[in-house]
């Protein structure tokens, strides 16, 4: 945390007041999303298709009517880094949402 001028410090709100304001703003801006029961119910809102910098983030979605749905999230920059990597490591925790069709 940076030190501010002694003339300005008394005019600023307390640290706890700033924390409360941030928490209140976050709570207001948090949208409640429906948790899908299966992959066919998963609808990815438009806001998750792009990063805060308006860069494409949803790279691929095979679609809700696909038997084994595949969704890939990444920035183009990260894909470029990955494509230039000599090794790729991953685990096998892919099926998080039950797929009933």
DSSP string, 15-35: HHHHHHHHHHHHHHHPPP-PP
Identify the DSSP state of 91. -
Identify the DSSP state of 36. P
**Where does the pLDDT of residue 27 fall: very low under 50, low under 70, confident under 90, or very high at 90 and above?**
confident
pLDDT of residue 70: 84
pLDDT of residue 97: 52
User: From start to end of the chain, where are the E strands?
Assistant: 58-61, 71-73
Answer whether residue 95 shows pLDDT above 70: no
Q: Which of 39, 66, 88 is nearest to 74 (CA)?
A: 88
Cβ proximity of 71 and 60 under 8 Å: yes
pLDDT of residue 47: 87
Dihedral angle of Cα 43, 47, 53, 57, to the nearest 10 degrees? 0
As a whole number, mean pLDDT of residues 52-58 equals 92
């Amino acid at each position: 945390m940076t030190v501010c001028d002694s003339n300005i410090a008394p005019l600023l709100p307390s640290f706890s007041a700033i924390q409360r304001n941030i928490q209140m703003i976050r709570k207001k801006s948090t949208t409640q999303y429906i948790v899908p029961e299966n992959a066919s119910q998963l609808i990815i809102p438009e806001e998750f298709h792009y990063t805060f910098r308006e860069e494409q983030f949803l790279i691929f979605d095979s679609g809700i009517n696909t038997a084994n749905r595949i969704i890939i999230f990444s920035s183009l920059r990260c894909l470029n880094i990955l494509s230039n990597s000599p090794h790729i490591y991953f685990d096998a925790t892919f099926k998080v949402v039950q797929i009933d069709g």
